[in-house]
Amino acid sequence: MTIDAPPTTGIVDDASGRLLEPEAKRNRAPEGPVKVVHAFWLAGMSCDGCSIAATGATNPKVEDLMTGIIPGLPKVILHHPVLSMEVGEDFTHAYELAARGELDAPYVCIYEGSIADERIAAETDGYFSAMGLSAIEGETGEAGKPMPTADRLAQMAPGAAAVIAIGTCATWGGIPAAAGNPTGSMSTMDFLGKNYRSALGLPVINVPGCPPIGDNFTETVAAILLFLQGMGPLPEFDELGRPAWLFSETVHRGCTRAGYYEEGVFAKEYGDKECLVEIGCWGPVVNCNIVSRGFQSHMGGCMASGGPCIGCTMPGFPDKFAPFYEAPPGSAVSSAASRTVGFGIRRLRALSNHNANREVRWDELYGGEVPSGWGEPENPGPLKKAVKFFYQKLQFSGDKKKPGRDDSDRWHTDMPPRARNMQAPHDVSGAAESEGRAREDVDETWERR
């Protein structure tokens, strides 16, 4: 077994001469003025899907943020009710320090799940979402009783560098706030109010999705941290507090099935490859980057795995998108229009596509016949030939000359010897003989080997 030689450069203890910190370790990413930022995770009425989505992020990973390996970013100390090692008061202690303004570093609050109206639960001496015991009197809780996470947010939000709502429940209210809403659930914005500003002057930042794309969340956190470090501009947010660069486009604009919509071709049942609008996809009116980003590692996501968009990133979700899996009422107009236009466009494109699938040599030498052993692509008939003729006239109408070599020296003079022995497939007269010779050539080659 070989043992690596110890590093010879780095910080050395003067007294003992021992290497305290190897050079390689000190050559870590440059840190900005803030070395450490605490991230306090609070969970309300949620399914924990947002936590799961965030831990699956890859660009950047939660681990990258926590280990501080991203150049310029401070190390993030994550306090998470599921992921943290501490329990009980050891865990909630840091939350209380932050609430009292006694933490030694800046912090952000991350809220997952919608915020129930704890006054409803308090009527029967209960709570909807709580974490730890109240150390101090809260709006709805008493000292020594389970402390609603809503109260923790109320205490911590004013001193936070930023409050980030993750997932549709936290950003807009989501499923817990759907019709009926017995818990009086609401979003983080609704809870903190329009006039809320963080210690750095930021309103609530919203990263929606049920669940959100993990990368959308970690990328937003990284962008905010860069801003906090003074190393990046304030990321652009839209009027609903969404990262504008992630949510300004509709699902449909980035959808791999959008070409079918344009040509008026629609899926009839789940599993079909065409546009899903007529079986319940709301993609044309939903702000989300799921198709271009994928759900994890740029893979998967709703449409990629055959699912229509049900609007889970939107403030109106779920009520405004119900009943699920039925064509949105507005889609009848647009899909009828795309059917009408698409009918003609599709056929014209099919003609051009047929032409584009033919190499020029095949046109010039074989009259359009394709020398493929894989099948018998259809020869262009008079219509296709006419279309091609006019298409090329249009294509090169402004040019003096077609691109490519002169026809005179184009095909035969520099053909390789083997090919000279072969006949064009359409040349029936010499085909059999030619094929025989070619076969012999091949056999001979293999025998030589």
* Residue 149 makes contact with ligand FSX by CB under 6 A: no
**Span from 44-52, 132-140, 157-165, 236-244 in contact with ligand FSX (CB under 6 A):** 44-52
Closest contact distance (angstroms) between CB of 174 and ligand FSX is 5
Q: Which of residues 57-86 bind ligand FSX (CB under 6 A)?
A: none
* Residue 92 makes contact with ligand FSX by CB under 6 A: no
Binding mask 103-122 for ligand FSX (x = CB under 6 A): ---------xx---------
Residue 130 β-bridge partners: 148
**Span from 17-25, 29-37, 164-172, 228-236 in contact with ligand FSX (CB under 6 A):** 164-172
Nearest residue to ligand FSX on Cβ basis: 49
Give, rounded to a whole angstrom, the gap between the first and last alpha carbons of the chain: 46
Binding mask 276-295 for ligand FSX (x = CB under 6 A): --------------------
* Residue 214 makes contact with ligand FSX by CB under 6 A: no
Q: Which of 207, 236, 182 is nearest to 45 (CA)?
A: 182
Residue 267 in contact with residue 325, Cβ under 8 Å?
no
Taking the alpha carbons of 273, 279, 284, 286 in that order, is the dihedral positive or negative? negative
User: At which residue do the structure tokens 């915020």 appear?
Assistant: 115
**Span from 46-54, 249-257, 265-273, 364-372 in contact with ligand FSX (CB under 6 A):** 46-54
> How many degrees, rounded to 5, is the angle at CA 208 between CA 207 and CA 213?
80
CA distance 423 to 434: 6
Closest contact distance (angstroms) between CB of 253 and ligand FSX is 23
CA distance 310 to 293: 17
* Residue 308 makes contact with ligand FSX by CB under 6 A: no
Q: Give the nearer residue to ligand FSX in terms of CB position, either 211 or 308.
A: 211
**Span from 161-169, 268-276, 295-303, 409-417 in contact with ligand FSX (CB under 6 A):** 161-169
CA atoms within 13 A of residue 78's CA, in its CB half-sphere: 22
* Residue 175 makes contact with ligand FSX by CB under 6 A: yes
Q: How many helices (H) and strands (E) does the chain have?
A: 17, 9
Q: Give the nearer residue to ligand FSX in terms of CB position, either 179 or 428.
A: 179
**Contacting ligand FSX (CB under 6 A), which of 92, 129, 149, 168?**
168
Three-state DSSP at 153 gives: helix
**Span from 41-49, 66-74, 227-235, 375-383 in contact with ligand FSX (CB under 6 A):** 41-49
Q: If 0-12 CB within 10 Å is exposed, 13-18 middle and 19+ buried, where does residue 85 land?
A: exposed
* Residue 210 makes contact with ligand FSX by CB under 6 A: yes
Q: Which pair of structure tokens corresponds to residue 294?
A: 């994928």
CA distances from 411 to 22, 355, 425, 437 (A): 67, 20, 15, 21
CA distance 337 to 1: 73
**Span from 47-55, 394-402, 417-425, 438-446 in contact with ligand FSX (CB under 6 A):** 47-55
* Residue 303 makes contact with ligand FSX by CB under 6 A: no
Closest contact distance (angstroms) between CB of 53 and ligand FSX is 7
CA distance 175 to 185: 9
CA distance 249 to 396: 36
Site size with ligand FSX, rule: CB under 6 A: 14
CA atoms within 13 A of residue 158's CA, in its CB half-sphere: 6
Residue ranges in contact with ligand FSX by CB under 6 A: 46-50, 112-113, 167-169, 174-175, 210-211
